[in-house]
Amino acid sequence: MAKPDWREIQRRFLSEYAKSGISPKEWCEAQGLNYATARRYIKKSTAQKTAQKKAAQSTKKTAQKKERENKKKSSEEKVQEEKIIFSEVVEDGYDSSSFGLSPQQALFAQYVTAGKTRVEAYKLAGYKCTGNNAYFAASQVYRNIRVSRYVRHLRDKLEKRQAATIDDLIHQYTAIANADPNELAQHRRVNCRYCWGEYHLYQWRDVAEFDRASASAAKDGKQPPEYGGRGFVNTADPHPDCPKCGGEGISEVFITDTRDLEGNARWLYAGVKETKFGIEVQTASQDAARRELSRLLTARHGAGSLPTGMQPVTGYTPEDYRKAQDWINSEFGDLD
């Protein structure tokens, strides 16, 4: 019996497979061949499989590349749009390089000045960190002395605080009069250690704090401290049914980080003073600002066109404007 020419049989199978996509087993049965014997020789072409696989991969890569290009284009358009918006807000007469900044740092400062959060500014400036790392890295850039100086410079350019015009004075007095003092300092009632502890027992911050207290009690021969669980947060609200504090919590004075002040609060803030009783937050007088604002609005609108409820004041001269500007300068000095 002649030995089958498996190469020729394979060629015939591939020809039929290319036309109909028939499986090797079905083709062998149709040809009267024993598939168990023929399966070693009759196979779908490896080259065809490779070509199909490469075609699929090429299609996938093309789609991914197109998607990346679209995302990049969208991001560039967004950044360009933000730059246009910012350029309309700030007319900066100083080159950022004179502040010793890199282009990324300068762009970050510009976005912060335009009202973006530090994380948004960080991402728009082209930095790469994400998630919690982005906030940490953005804070480091934000706290950089040169960046902070440039931010203050841009903000002062925006506000044009030194211009002695009626509109500028009205803007400054309005900011002071409307500022919320709670943005500078707060008196608040916060939870005591027993408010949220298990069964209103003493709550600890973490295991380490409890272990230190236990070790100290053992050393002094005292009873182990009570355990009301972990996770105490000192800024949480009091528990209304706390048996220790009666739901009133404990008193706490909080002073905000004045480096992060925005809007009206920046005008109200006039510095801090360390005394023997502690830190004193100094502010501009809101009552004085309201009085001066009333006089300025009277001068600007005239007695016949004042806002409802405002009493006319006459005799406001250019010398009064100068004195008003001097008052602002004496209250604030130079915010830089």
Q: Regarding predicted confidence, which is higher, 330 or 148?
A: 148
Which residue from 159, 177, 162 is spatially nearest to 294, judged by alpha carbons? 177
pLDDT band at residue 134 using 50, 70 and 90 as cut-offs:
confident
Segment 72-76 shows an average pLDDT of: 58
Give phi and psi for 235, each to the nearest 5.
-100, 5
Predicted confidence at residue 321, as pLDDT, reads 61
Predicted confidence at residue 30, as pLDDT, reads 83
Lowest mean pLDDT among 44-53, 91-100, 111-120, 209-218: 44-53
CA 55 to CA 49: how far, in whole Å?
10
Segment 316-332 shows an average pLDDT of: 62
Predicted confidence at residue 29, as pLDDT, reads 83
CA 170 to CA 183: how far, in whole Å?
21
Q: Regarding predicted confidence, which is higher, 281 or 332?
A: 281
pLDDT band at residue 72 using 50, 70 and 90 as cut-offs:
low
The structure tokens 């906030």 sit at 135
| Residue 70 near residue 124, CB atoms below 8 Å | no
The structure tokens 């960190």 sit at 129
Average of per-residue pLDDT values in the chain: 78
CA 48 to CA 54: how far, in whole Å?
10
